Amino acid sequence: MSLDIFLDDNELIARIKDLKKERNAIILAHSYERPEVQDIADYVGDSLELSRLAAKTDADVIVFCSVHFMAETAKILSPQKTVLLPAAEAGCPLADMITPAQLEVEKAKHPNAAVVAYVNCSAEIKAMADVCCTSANAVQVVDAMPQDEILFVPDQHLGRWVQTQTNKKMILWAGCCPTHQRMKAKDILELKKEHPGCEVVVHPESNEDICNLADAILSTSQMLRYCQASSAKTFIIGTEMGMLHRLRTAMPDKTFLQPSKGLICPNMKMTQLEDVYEALKELKNPIEIPEPIRIKALASLNGMLAAVPTK
Stretch that binds ligand 13P, among 52-60, 130-138, 161-169, 207-215 (CB under 6 A): 130-138
205 part of the interface to ligand 13P, by CB under 6 A = yes
Which residues ranging from 136 to 165 are in contact with ligand 13P (CB under 6 A)?
A: 136
Considering only residues 38, 57, 78, 120, which one is a binding residue for ligand 13P as defined by CB under 6 A?
A: 120
CA angle 201, 203, 208 (to 5 degrees): 95
3-state SS, 72-101, equals: HHHHHHCCCCEEECCCCCCCCCCHHHCCHH
Interface with ligand 13P: number of residues (CB under 6 A)? 11
Region of 283 on the Ramachandran plot (φ > 0 left; ψ -120 to 50 alpha; else beta): left
Provide the 10 A C-beta neighbour count for residue 229.
7
Of 2 and 181, CB closest to ligand 13P: 181
132 part of the interface to ligand 13P, by CB under 6 A = no
258 part of the interface to ligand 13P, by CB under 6 A = no
203 part of the interface to ligand 13P, by CB under 6 A = yes
**Half-sphere exposure of residue 67: CA atoms within 13 angstroms, side-chain side:** 21
DSSP state, residue 25: E
Considering only residues 38, 73, 122, 134, which one is a binding residue for ligand 13P as defined by CB under 6 A?
A: 134
Spatial distance between the Cα atoms of 79 and 136, rounded to a whole number of angstroms:
24
Cis amide linkage into residue 93, ω under 30° from 0: no
Which residues ranging from 32 to 51 are in contact with ligand 13P (CB under 6 A)?
A: 46-47
Of 207 and 220, CB closest to ligand 13P: 220
DSSP state, residue 180: G
- Per-residue binding string, ligand 13P, 206-245, x by CB under 6 A, is -------------xx-------------------------
- Is residue 103 within 8 A of residue 269, CB to CB? The reply is no
**Residue ranges binding ligand 13P (CB under 6 A):** 46-47, 120, 134-136, 177, 203, 205, 219-220
